[in-house]
């Protein structure tokens, strides 16, 4: 586009003439002007605007450092829940007069909590570090609360399990005294273990949600429910495997309650977290959670249908235990996957900023 500009230039003794100067104005403004706009009207002026920035991480590297935990922590999540569910099963057998159910629950609870302690100490690196955590009691720290829960639950589960051996002790002498005292101590210890079992079953879910790992942190309302349901289902699996059909009634009811809670929680984790549900639906975590869901459903159906079949009850119990393993590992690997991909950190942050900016 051609534009003209007139000007006056002095010439000689005052004579003047009009000179036209021509210049071209480019149809394409300079790069810096492409983002300028002019406001018309009163108070108008030049305002510089820039296009929205596309945030990403530095060369696609993770923004968060992925958890350094390995498979032993995922196994710790399972064994802790198994110990809690088994102690509740044992308490049910104790209160309803089902000795086989009580015995299976007590022995499994002790074995599971001992295995949990091994996995935890193995992750800490040195056993003394667990002892150091007992120096303080901090109610706002899930790790501190969990340490004290384990400290109370472990000895109680141990006394309850040892009490099952009272019938094998001689009737006289020092061991005879133990034979007379252990049953009462076992009953009290079993109830103490059952009282602390809900905290043992759920504190690991709170612990994961208390981290900065995106898919764990966003699932803070659901993870305790998932872990509680998984603990109940795994405890029910022990009862279905070890107890005769005539004594497995409480185990079947536990299986139904635990499966309902676990399936509800997993469904919400997979569907209600927006983008952060994606790691739980794809890859290894997705396959594990789908397997856990199928095994849980099969275990519950088998427990209800096979009331009089020892074989079917045992298979149902094994399915519930395998489902609990798959669920715990699926939740664990889903969180790790969300920490490795920067989009699960950046995109939710931008969405929160935009909601605050729009008053949403």
Taking only the tens place, the pLDDT of each residue in 294-315 is 999 999 999 999 899 999 999 9
Q: Among 3-7, 78-82, 182-186, name the one with the lowest average pLDDT.
A: 3-7
Q: What is the 3-state secondary structure (H, E, C) of 76-133?
A: HHHHHHHHHHHHHHHHHHHHCCCHHHHHHHHHHHHHHHHHHHHHHHHHHCCHHHHHHH
Residue 171 and residue 150: Cα distance in Å, rounded?
A: 34
pLDDT level of residue 17 (50, 70, 90 thresholds): very low
Q: What are phi and psi of 210, to 5 degrees?
A: -80, 0
Eight-class DSSP state of 277: G
Eight-class DSSP state of 172: S
For residues 203 and 83, the answer to whether their CB atoms sit within 8 Å is no
pLDDT digits (tens, 9 = 90+) for 104-147: 999 999 999 999 988 888 877 776 667 677 778 888 888 888 88
pLDDT level of residue 28 (50, 70, 90 thresholds): very low
For residues 48 and 35, the answer to whether their CB atoms sit within 8 Å is yes
Residues of the chain with pLDDT > 90: what percent? 61
Residue 229 and residue 324: Cα distance in Å, rounded?
A: 9
At 11 the pLDDT is: 43
Burial class (CB in 10 A: 0-12, 13-18, 19+), 115: middle
pLDDT digits (tens, 9 = 90+) for 86-101: 999 999 999 999 999 9
Q: Which domains does the chain have, with CATH numbers?
A: 67-337 (1.20.1630.10)
For residues 298 and 316, the answer to whether their CB atoms sit within 8 Å is yes
Q: Among 42-56, 88-102, 246-260, 266-280, name the one with the lowest average pLDDT.
A: 42-56
Report which of 277, 269, 289, 157 is spatially closest to residue 222, judged by C-alpha positions: 269
Residue 230 and residue 319: Cα distance in Å, rounded?
A: 12
- Residue 73, pLDDT > 50, answer yes
Strand partners of residue 23: 3
210 or 50, which is more confident? 210
Report which of 331, 85, 37 is spatially closest to residue 209, judged by C-alpha positions: 331
Q: What is the mean pLDDT of residues 224-253?
A: 96
Residue 43 and residue 46: Cα distance in Å, rounded?
A: 10
Residue 265 CB partners (closer than 8 Å, separation 6+)? 222, 223, 225, 226, 229
């Amino acid at each position: 586009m051609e534009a003209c500009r007139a000007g006056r230039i002095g010439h000689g003794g005052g004579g003047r003439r009009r000179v036209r100067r021509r210049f071209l104005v480019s149809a394409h403004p300079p790069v810096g002007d492409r983002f300028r706009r002019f406001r018309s009207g009163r108070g108008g002026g030049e305002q510089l605007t820039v296009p929205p920035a596309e945030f990403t991480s530095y060369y696609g590297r993770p923004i968060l450092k992925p958890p350094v935990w390995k498979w032993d922590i995922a196994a710790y999540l399972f064994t802790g829940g198994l110990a809690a569910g088994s102690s509740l099963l044992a308490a049910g057998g104790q209160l309803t007069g089902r000795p086989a159910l009580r015995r299976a629950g007590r022995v499994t609870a002790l074995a599971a909590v001992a295995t949990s302690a091994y996995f935890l100490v193995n992750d800490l690196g040195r056993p003394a570090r667990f002892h150091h955590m007992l120096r303080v009691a901090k109610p706002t720290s899930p790790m501190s609360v969990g340490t004290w829960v384990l400290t109370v639950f472990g000895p109680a589960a141990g006394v309850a399990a040892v009490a099952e051996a009272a019938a094998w002790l001689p009737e006289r002498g020092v061991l005879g005294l133990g034979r007379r005292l252990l049953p009462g101590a076992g009953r009290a210890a079993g109830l103490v273990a059952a009282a602390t079992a809900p905290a043992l079953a759920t504190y690991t879910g709170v612990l994961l949600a208390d981290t900065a790992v995106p898919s764990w942190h966003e699932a803070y309302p659901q993870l305790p429910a998932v872990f509680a349901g998984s603990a109940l289902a795994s405890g029910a699996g022990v009862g279905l495997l070890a107890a005769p059909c005539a004594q497995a009634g409480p185990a079947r009811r536990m299986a139904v309650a635990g499966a309902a809670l676990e399936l509800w929680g997993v469904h919400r984790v997979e569907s209600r977290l927006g983008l952060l549900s994606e790691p739980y639906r794809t890859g290894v975590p997705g396959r594990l959670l789908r397997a856990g869901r199928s095994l849980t459903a099969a275990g519950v159906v088998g427990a209800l249908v096979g009331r009089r079949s020892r074989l079917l009850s045992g298979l149902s119990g094994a399915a519930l235990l395998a489902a609990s393993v798959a669920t715990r590992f699926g939740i664990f690997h889903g969180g790790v996957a969300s920490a490795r991909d920067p989009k699960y950190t950046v995109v939710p942050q931008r969405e929160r900023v935009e909601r605050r900016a729009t008053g949403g």
